[in-house]
Chains A and B, each alone.
Chain A
Amino acid sequence: MSLPALEVVDLAVTFATERGPLRVLDGISFSLPAGRTVALVGESGCGKSITALAVMGLLPPSATTAGAVRLEGRGIAELPPEGRRLLRGRELAMIFQEPMTSLNPAFAVGEQIAEALRLHQKLDRAAAAARAVRMLEAVRIPEAAKRARQYPHQLSGGMRQRVMIATALACRPRVLIADEPTTALDVTVQAQILALLDELRGSTGTAVLLITHDLGVVADHADEVVVMYAGRVAESGPAARVLAEPQHPYTVGLLGAAPRLDGPRGTRLAAVEGAVPDLSDPPEGCRFKTRCPFRIAVCGTEPPLRGVGPGQRSACHRAPLEGILDAA
């Protein structure tokens, strides 16, 4: 078996704050095979974006990282900053929710793509410019040569996100991290961008780490999913399986909380009551226990992430949850 494009093992991140160290991530492990999509899903503050920034080596200096991050088997977490910088853009690329904050408003979009090619692939100016136009064509931007000379403000939101994708994929990275890439877009444009990512992943073999809060996006576009809660992995496994047969109460709750086009109408949603715990004072043991209808005494100790089905792992003492239904 070939090495995964990206492997994260027991990743932990601690921020130094005025009130002492704050551990925001703990025990995050997942593996991303080449040409596949793994989704990190969870609500605000669960640590999904911090995970992405830790992989990219873009955390601020106040953060300390433990654990391993391997790119095709090479440990990169311990590389010096200069080594990390050379990986970014060439082997690891990232796109964000709001493309306007990542694009430079003062340069034409073609130049911005060409810059990456000149830096990483040592192409000359003319070759880089030509390749930039081809990248814009690859992300289905009509009249690519004309668009390449335009500035970000002259493009629509969907078009800007296409430019970001073109920039990110210009150097054929092994891994593309997409952090809520379609959250700021309208639903019909979102469908276009997600379909484009699927297609490019298929044709380039780039692995995609897709960060999202939308379980519908996971259902349609991810092979594997990692459900995060309060800085830890709650559950992980094949996307179809986790969504159909969740084995962590938080996943069950998330699935019940989101209204669906094929769900019942007018009924009350099975909301997860309460709020995400404060990470500076997390509950002892299982972090979901304060909101969990299935909690028992043992939930005061931390549940390990363990296998509960083919490729599926859950950090719940009560998994598999079938036992609860039998008892009911």
Chain B
Amino acid sequence: MTAPEAGADGAILSLDGVVRHFPVRDMLGRRKGAVRAVDGVSLSVREGEVLAVVGESGCGKSTLGRLALGLEEPDSGTVRFRGDDLRALSPAALRERRRWMQMIFQDPYGSLDPRMTVGRAVAEPLRLHRIVPRSGERERVAALLARVGLRPEHADRWPHEFSGGQRQRIAIGRALASGPRLVVGDEPVSALDVSVQAQVLNLLQDLIRELRLAFVLISHDLAVVRHIADRVAVMYLGRVVEQGPADAVFASPRHPYTRALLASVPGAGTRGAVLQGDLPSPIAPPAACRFHTRCPHAEEICRMQEPPLVVGAAAAATPAHRAACHFRDTLPAAATPANGHRGGGERLARLQAFFAAHRPGTGNAA
């Protein structure tokens, strides 16, 4: 079985106008409305590309990840994996496709079966998709474990014997076992301590580059996203409000919500709160622009008309950098984090270089 080619437009994954609502019922089981988790989202990811989907809890980013892998069916719209509409595939064909699409979850304590040795967990996708004969299985598992920074003899141990960071390495090894072309990581480093998070991020980055994976990173952590994403989609209440190349989105955000998110990141130097109030309910999102109830720039038109997700008209606008804001071209200049405002400078960079150079054996990996 050869690895699938990308679709006609070079995309491994493409979503077109995808909608997923979850019905909400009252105590008598009558339909009372719906959580509009994903409400008309179009996105695509190419080979070797990292697309980050960011937003706060309840914005629909996790549902989007499940839709992307065909774990959830859209109410309308299409999800294509290298050109094939997942809904049009027979169950057998969909099962075959799953070999090429994998997921990494946030919690490495919940995603590994405690009654399965590490070797079994990593070998399971190999057996499921009949990738290597049983005789070659041990060798393949050892190679996968080595690739994620663990030792071959770890195959005989149980998940509880490993730290959180090591478990996440195991989960990554398992996700890569079937040689996927698309990997969705739902907050894959959020549960890890910062020093371990850095190790796992470095590993993911190496793997994405080396295996030319199409990677969808679902995250609430903007610093992590900025670090590894090529493109970014910012979600608010089920919709993409801004998307584009990561450089452009982080350097000159065109949507007030993106700006608020960036300014809220601790360490960015802003001390006050940027946004007031809580996220409105996704069951009854505000009409027209969904952000207007919290937006410092909202005007009459924002309550009347939904802004389309389009490229700005300004001459300096980056192609493919789109924002769903009526004032995308006239917002005041965004305050971007001052470079190195926290200081440290050359001294700190030189000291940190020692850490990068200091790589004790992989057996020490956390």
- On A, residues with C-beta under 8 Å from B are 43-44, 156, 158-159, 186-192, 194-196, 198, 213-217, 219-221, 240, 243-246, 249, 252-263, 265-266, 268-276, 291-294, 321-322, 324-325, 328
**16 CB < 8 A contacts A-B:** A214-B266, A216-B265, A216-B267, A220-B270, A254-B194, A256-B198, A260-B223, A261-B226, A261-B262, A262-B338, A262-B342, A266-B228, A268-B205, A272-B195, A273-B365, A275-B196
When the two chains form their complex, are residues B352 and A255 in contact, meaning their CB atoms are under 8 A apart? Answer: yes
Residues of B within 8 A of A194 (CB): 266, 273
Most B CB contacts (10 A, CB to CB) among A262, A294, A328 go to: A262
Residues of B within 8 A of A263 (CB): 223, 227
Residues of B within 8 A of A260 (CB): 223, 267, 342
With A186-B279, A244-B343, A256-B352 already in contact, the answer to whether A44 and B360 are too (CB < 8 A) is: no
With A263-B227, A265-B227 already in contact, the answer to whether A275 and B222 are too (CB < 8 A) is: no
Cα–Cα distance between A273 and B197 once the two chains are bound (Å)? 11
| Mask: chain B, 207-248; 1 = CB below 8 Å from A; 0 = not | 000000000000010111011100000000000000000110
Q: List 8 other contacts, CB 8 Å, given A256-B355, A276-B193.
A: A156-B278, A214-B266, A215-B194, A219-B267, A260-B223, A261-B262, A274-B365, A321-B351
When the two chains form their complex, are residues B366 and A274 in contact, meaning their CB atoms are under 8 A apart? Answer: yes
When the two chains form their complex, are residues B359 and A216 in contact, meaning their CB atoms are under 8 A apart? Answer: no
Cα–Cα distance between A191 and B260 once the two chains are bound (Å)? 10
B:271-290 near A, CB below 8 Å: 271-276, 278-279
Cα–Cα distance between A258 and B194 once the two chains are bound (Å)? 6
Residues of A within 8 A of B198 (CB): 256-259, 269-272
B366's nearest neighbour on chain A, judged by CB, is: A275
Q: Shortest beta-carbon distance, B151 to chain A, in Å? A: 14
A244's nearest neighbour on chain B, judged by CB, is: B343
- 5 closest A-B pairs by beta carbon, nearest first, are A216-B267, A293-B358, A244-B343, A216-B266, A275-B366
With A259-B227, A260-B223, A268-B205 already in contact, the answer to whether A187 and B56 are too (CB < 8 A) is: yes
Most B CB contacts (10 A, CB to CB) among A43, A189, A191, A294 go to: A191
When the two chains form their complex, are residues A271 and B278 in contact, meaning their CB atoms are under 8 A apart? Answer: no
Cα–Cα distance between A167 and B270 once the two chains are bound (Å)? 27
Residues of A within 8 A of B263 (CB): 191
With A262-B338, A273-B360, A274-B360 already in contact, the answer to whether A195 and B348 are too (CB < 8 A) is: no
Tell whether B92 is near chain A: CB-to-CB under 8 Å: no
Q: Which of A195, A219, A262 contacts B339 (CB 8 A)?
A: A262
Cα–Cα distance between A327 and B285 once the two chains are bound (Å)? 61
Cα–Cα distance between A213 and B194 once the two chains are bound (Å)? 8
Residues of B within 8 A of A195 (CB): 271-273
When the two chains form their complex, are residues A261 and B194 in contact, meaning their CB atoms are under 8 A apart? Answer: no
Most B CB contacts (10 A, CB to CB) among A195, A253, A292 go to: A253
When the two chains form their complex, are residues B195 and A257 in contact, meaning their CB atoms are under 8 A apart? Answer: yes
Residues of A within 8 A of B337 (CB): 261-262
Tell whether B264 is near chain A: CB-to-CB under 8 Å: yes
Residues of B within 8 A of A322 (CB): 347
Q: Shortest beta-carbon distance, B154 to chain A, in Å? A: 14
When the two chains form their complex, are residues B269 and A220 in contact, meaning their CB atoms are under 8 A apart? Answer: yes
B351's nearest neighbour on chain A, judged by CB, is: A252
When the two chains form their complex, are residues B279 and A217 in contact, meaning their CB atoms are under 8 A apart? Answer: no
When the two chains form their complex, are residues B264 and A269 in contact, meaning their CB atoms are under 8 A apart? Answer: no
When the two chains form their complex, are residues B356 and A217 in contact, meaning their CB atoms are under 8 A apart? Answer: no
When the two chains form their complex, are residues A219 and B354 in contact, meaning their CB atoms are under 8 A apart? Answer: no
Residues of B within 8 A of A214 (CB): 266-267
Q: Shortest beta-carbon distance, A158 to chain B, in Å? A: 6
Residues of A within 8 A of B262 (CB): 261
Tell whether B341 is near chain A: CB-to-CB under 8 Å: yes
When the two chains form their complex, are residues A188 and B194 in contact, meaning their CB atoms are under 8 A apart? Answer: no
When the two chains form their complex, are residues B354 and A261 in contact, meaning their CB atoms are under 8 A apart? Answer: no
Cα–Cα distance between A190 and B340 once the two chains are bound (Å)? 23
When the two chains form their complex, are residues A328 and B261 in contact, meaning their CB atoms are under 8 A apart? Answer: no
Q: Shortest beta-carbon distance, A284 to chain B, in Å? A: 17
Residues of A within 8 A of B57 (CB): 186
When the two chains form their complex, are residues B342 and A219 in contact, meaning their CB atoms are under 8 A apart? Answer: yes
